[in-house]
């Protein structure tokens, strides 16, 4: 009973407040926290489930994010596809029904997992739908000259073949869903799909398309990835590798996918890598790259992801869905966003799943994380580079790999050649409760503040052990201050994940 009360308190607090500010009266009087959201939306966002839908895809056009998803308007209606727009990942405008199929189209229901890509001013939407003629799922293509639509089924002659809205345009000869288009640096077009539950198994196949974005040139004879790793329950009755998404980095092809049944808490994102877009994919040994740890009561069923850039193009971000009911899972889901990064070995790391306030994508706000621009010194110098490596660790197994160890009285100084205008500071402590923080003293120029870590992001698990919500940070927000030096003094033993300084 004690545990239930503790979790209820945690859920009510995290739904409405930022991490504990814990500052002096001067700062408290000058807080710029949004009264409703509980944080400054010009600096932070929070995964509060604003959009209740599934299978998200986001494209970034200028300084605007456009999103498409399954289950329009949280109604469960899958007979049309909606579009939303936002400039801060918090305030989303419903742009309306971006795609409504024609009455005589090959698919008019079960419209799932839309993905949009722009080519020469035309926006191509790939969507899953229930083929009326075959009774199986297939993939269609709709086009528009605007990211908000209206989209219409692609019709006409392409590559010597005529396409009609009455026939499924992308048809490799087996049922498919979850189409992901990818254009390589050489201009070649690829489409990745999930072969849908053939012999009780879903697996990912790839194909090359003509530059008309619809005509199939070739299809892989074998699955690029199929259920095989232990976390994917490869011996289960029904099994899944679905929802593919491809990105390329340093001549490597990173093919992400989701595994397990989407209504279960174990629904997670995996990764496979190859040197070739249509062969040779090997799953990484650190899978899943995004999951709801069974020990966490705050998140469930993190899957079906996409990757999108920040407005200035310097960062990559992941959108994915999770269950609204974190205890029982199910089909009702919400959309989440978290940053991704790569370590020195090329490991793709997701800074999530987060539920606490996080810094906005680069280019959204005039304030950016300038911590890495400083010269950093510390009483304990070993590992100080981990404070600004742009990696926020979420796994207690990786504590030694990505976290800085601070013991006793330790002073950390960030020095700039020229004074900066500072608006906020975040200190991410350890993903492991044993090394989590309590408090610290922070000096910004001539101002001294007390930084406290929020106890509401800690809880007691079913076995009575103290646990911590990973990815949470102690946050200071204040009226803009000018400073060329910022110092942090820690007195207790603590592991520090990352230090963020928002300034300009």
Q: What is this structure's pTM?
A: 0.91
Are 344 and 472 contained in the same domain? Answer: no
Structure tokens at 195: 């072969």
Q: What share of the chain is helix, strand, coil (3-state, %, to 5)?
A: 10, 45, 45
Residues 6+ apart with CB under 8 A from 427: 437, 440, 451, 453, 473, 474, 488, 496, 498, 499, 500
Torsion on CA atoms 242, 247, 248, 249, rounded to nearest 10: -110
CATH number for position 24: 2.60.120.260
Does some domain include residue 362?
no
How many Å separate Cα 219 from the centre of its chain?
A: 29
Are 166 and 297 contained in the same domain? Answer: yes
The predicted structure's pLDDT at residue 464 = 86
State the residue range of the domain holding 286. Answer: 55-354
Q: In sequence order, which ranges of 359-444 are alpha helices (DSSP H)? A: 399-402
Are 186 and 283 contained in the same domain? Answer: yes
How far, in Å, CA of 291 to CA of 271, rounded?
Answer: 12
Nearest to 281 by CA among 241, 237, 235, 321: 241
The predicted structure's pLDDT at residue 72 = 60
The predicted structure's pLDDT at residue 190 = 98
Are 153 and 98 contained in the same domain? Answer: yes
Radius of gyration of the chain (CA): 24
Cβ neighbourhood burial of 220 (10 Å; 0-12, 13-18, 19+): middle
Strand partners of residue 424 = 477, 502
Does some domain include residue 361?
no
| Number of domains the chain contains | 2
The predicted structure's pLDDT at residue 31 = 32
Q: In sequence order, which ranges of 112-233 are alpha helices (DSSP H)? A: none
Are 322 and 401 contained in the same domain? Answer: no
The predicted structure's pLDDT at residue 73 = 56
Does some domain include residue 50?
no
Are 344 and 378 contained in the same domain? Answer: no
Of 301, 319, 354, which residue sits at a domain end? 354
Which residue bears the tokens 């949004």?
A: 34
* Residue 29 phi, psi (nearest 5): -75, -20
Are 341 and 262 contained in the same domain? Answer: yes
Strand partners of residue 61 = 64
Are 302 and 415 contained in the same domain? Answer: no
Strand locations in 25-63 (E) = 44-45, 54-61
Please state whether the peptide bond connecting residue 466 to the residue before it is cis, i.e. omega within 30 degrees of 0. no
Angle value at C-alpha 339, between 486 and 251, nearest 5 degrees: 115
Strand partners of residue 340 = 316, 350
Strand partners of residue 376 = 414
Does some domain include residue 359?
no
Give the containing element (helix H, strand E) for 239.
strand 239-249
How far, in Å, CA of 422 to CA of 30, rounded?
Answer: 14
Of 354, 377, 396, which residue sits at a domain end? 354
CATH number for position 245: 2.115.10.20
How far, in Å, CA of 449 to CA of 443, rounded?
Answer: 6
How far, in Å, CA of 69 to CA of 277, rounded?
Answer: 26
Torsion on CA atoms 292, 294, 299, 300, rounded to nearest 10: 70
Are 127 and 266 contained in the same domain? Answer: yes
Of 331, 354, 377, which residue sits at a domain end? 354
Between strands 358-359 and 473-490, the pairing is unpaired
Residues 6+ apart with CB under 8 A from 271: 254, 255, 256, 257, 283, 284, 287, 289, 348
Would you give the end-to-end CA distance of the chain in angstroms? 48
Residues 6+ apart with CB under 8 A from 181: 115, 117, 124, 126, 189, 190, 191, 209, 213
How far, in Å, CA of 141 to CA of 117, rounded?
Answer: 11
Q: How many CB atoms lie within 10 A of CB 129?
A: 24
Are 432 and 385 contained in the same domain? Answer: yes
Are 95 and 217 contained in the same domain? Answer: yes
The predicted structure's pLDDT at residue 192 = 99
Does some domain include residue 345?
yes
- List, for the chain, all residue ranges whose pLDDT scores fall below the cut of 50: 1-36
Are 20 and 102 contained in the same domain? Answer: no
């Amino acid at each position: 009973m004690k545990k239930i009360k503790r979790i209820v308190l945690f859920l009510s607090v995290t739904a409405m407040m930022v991490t504990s500010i814990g500052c002096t009266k001067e700062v408290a009087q000058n807080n710029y926290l949004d009264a409703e959201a509980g944080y400054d939306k010009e600096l932070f966002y929070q995964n509060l489930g604003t959009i209740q839908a599934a299978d998200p895809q986001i494209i970034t056009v200028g300084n605007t994010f456009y999103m498409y998803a399954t289950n329009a308007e949280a109604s469960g209606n899958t007979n049309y596809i909606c579009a939303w727009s936002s400039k801060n990942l918090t305030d989303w405008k419903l742009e309306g029904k971006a795609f409504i199929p024609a009455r005589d189209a090959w698919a008019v229901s079960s419209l799932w997992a839309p993905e949009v890509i722009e080519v020469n001013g035309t926006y191509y939407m790939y969507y899953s739908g229930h083929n009326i003629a075959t009774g199986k799922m297939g993939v269609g293509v709709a086009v528009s000259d605007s990211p908000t639509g209206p989209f219409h089924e692609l019709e006409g002659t392409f590559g010597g073949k005529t396409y009609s809205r009455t026939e499924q345009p992308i048809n490799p000869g087996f049922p498919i869903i979850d189409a992901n288009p990818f254009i390589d640096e050489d201009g070649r077009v690829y489409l990745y799909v999930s072969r849908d539950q053939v012999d009780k198994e879903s697996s990912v196949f790839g194909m090359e398309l003509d530059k008309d974005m619809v005509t199939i040139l070739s299809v892989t004879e074998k699955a690029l990835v199929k259920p095989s790793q232990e976390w994917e329950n490869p011996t289960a009755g029904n099994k899944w590798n679905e929802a593919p998404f491809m990105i390329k980095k340093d001549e490597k092809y990173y093919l992400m996918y989701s595994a397990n049944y989407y209504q279960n808490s174990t629904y997670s994102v995996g990764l496979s890598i190859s040197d070739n877009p249509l062969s040779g994919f090997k799953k990484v040994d650190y899978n899943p790259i995004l999951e709801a740890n069974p020990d966490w009561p705050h998140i469930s069923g993190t899957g079906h992801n996409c990757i999108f850039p920040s407005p200035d193009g310097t960062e990559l971000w992941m959108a994915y869905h999770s269950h609204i009911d974190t205890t029982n899972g199910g089909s009702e889901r919400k959309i989440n966003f978290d940053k991704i990064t790569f370590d020195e070995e090329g490991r793709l790391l997701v800074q999530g799943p987060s539920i606490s306030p996080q810094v906005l994508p680069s280019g959204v706000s005039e304030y950016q994380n300038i911590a890495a621009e400083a010269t950093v010194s510390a009483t304990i110098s070993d590992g100080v580079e981990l404070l600004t490596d742009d990696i926020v660790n979420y796994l207690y197994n990786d504590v030694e790999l990505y976290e800085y160890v601070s013991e006793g009285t330790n002073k950390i100084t960030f020095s700039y050649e020229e004074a900066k205008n500072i608006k906020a500071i975040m200190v991410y402590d350890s993903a492991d409760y044993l090394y989590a923080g309590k408090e610290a003293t922070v000096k910004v120029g001539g101002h001294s503040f007390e930084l406290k870590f929020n106890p509401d992001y800690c809880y007691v698990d079913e076995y009575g052990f103290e646990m911590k919500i990973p990815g949470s940070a102690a946050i200071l927000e204040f009226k803009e201050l000018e400073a060329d030096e910022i110092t942090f003094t820690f007195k207790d033993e603590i592991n520090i994940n990352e230090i963020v300084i928002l300034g300009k």
